[in-house]
Amino acid sequence: MFMLLMMSAVAFGQQEVTKFLGIPVDGSKEEMIRKLKGKGFKPDPQGSEALVGQFNGTDVNVYVATNNDKVCRIMVCDAHLMGGTDIKIRFNDLCRQFQNNKKYMFISSTGYELPDDEDVGYEITVNDKRYEAIYYQLPSVIDSTAMAEAIMPSLSQYTEEQLANPTYEVRVDMIAATLTYMYELCAKRPVWFMISSLYGQYYITMFYDNEYNRANGEDL
């Protein structure tokens, strides 16, 4: 609650997009590939569209997705398959890393880690269960003016004097309006991952999405 109260004092910059290795998930595919190569990724020697390299200590294949010629997603797939026990450990390790990273927020009150007795292979094969965890990148630019302009309509029932000297009720509404604004801002910057399966073995697929560039029905 203390952190939420502190965060309610400011708001983050508008239109700041998701970043992958510090690179904005935006622009043209050619530009993105050039920047990824600058980070050490190389073309797949097997001839696929992937770039290969290491990410977070793991060999990965990286794919660039576009919408209307703008990059909207970076997809990162483990290069090597593993069994059910190992994939559960890897999934839980990633959850802990994200939850301990101050650049991210997550909505789940209990976290996403899988219990020790979870049989991932059985659940995926028999029950078609989907394992995924979603986090949101916190923007880095502070813009209190944009915040004030965004939340004031939802506080229009209060006078300037009431906002300057808020009662408990007014403070609650101010915090709620600010957190709603922040969530809507961060919701455009999701980073999520899931357990994928292939031939009875498993790997992690991770997505860095720029929701500003994702299809939103405009072509329908």
Tell whether the torsion through CA atoms of 17, 22, 25 and 31 is positive or negative. Answer: positive
Residue 12: predicted pLDDT: 43
pLDDT digits (tens, 9 = 90+) for 96-122: 999 999 999 888 766 789 999 999 999
- Six token digits for residue 90: 């890897």
Distance (Å, rounded) from C-alpha 107 to C-alpha 109? 6
Residue ranges per structural domain of the chain: 2-209
| pTM for the predicted model, two decimal places | 0.82
pLDDT digits (tens, 9 = 90+) for 38-87: 999 999 999 999 999 999 999 999 999 999 999 999 999 999 999 999 99
Residue 109: predicted pLDDT: 66
